[in-house]
Amino acid sequence: MEPEFPGYRFQREPTTGECEVIHPEGVDLTLDAVTVSNWRVGNIAHVGRLREAIAGLLGEGSALERIVLYSGSHAGDVIDEPSFGELERELRLLESSTDAWVREFADGLSELIRMARREKNPIVFV
C-alpha cells in the first residue's frame, strides 16, 4: 500500500490483509480508500434462496454452499486462495444458468476472486 499512499507506512493483518496506518501517527484513512471491492451478496433471506437455487443446479454440498452460502451472516470469515479454484469451477457451471440472479451472483464472486488474487489477499466477509 505504500506505493499507493506515499509517506504512509502500514502494518498488515496477516489473516485478512487489512492494513492499519502506523506512520504518520493519528492518520485515519477511510475504509473506501483502502478497500479494493465491496460487494453485497444479500440479506439472510436472499442468501438462503440463492443457496437453494444453486443447490438445485449443482447438488447439495457444493463448494459454493460450504464456503460462501452456508450462512447469511458470517461476518469476519475469510475465503483463502486455496479455495478459489474449486469455487471458480462451480461458478463456470453457473454461467449458463437461465436464472439471471444466479448468473449475477456468479459474476460478482468471480470478480472478487480475481481481485483477491491480484491483491494477494483473501476475500473477507464484513
pLDDT digits over 28-70, tens only? 777 676 677 777 888 889 899 999 999 999 999 999 999 999 8
Distance CA 16, CA 79 (A): 9
109 and 55 share a domain?
A: yes
62 and 112 share a domain?
A: yes
C-alpha distances in angstroms, 83 versus 5, 6, 79, 114? Answer: 31, 33, 7, 13
Number of domains in the chain: 2
- What global pTM score does this model have? 0.77
Q: Please check whether residue 33 is in contact with residue 9, taking contact to mean a CB–CB distance below 8 angstroms.
A: no
Q: Please check whether residue 68 is in contact with residue 125, taking contact to mean a CB–CB distance below 8 angstroms.
A: no
15 and 73 share a domain?
A: no
Cα angle value 24/30/31 (rounded, 5°) = 120
89 and 114 share a domain?
A: yes
Containing structural domain, residue 71 = 44-124
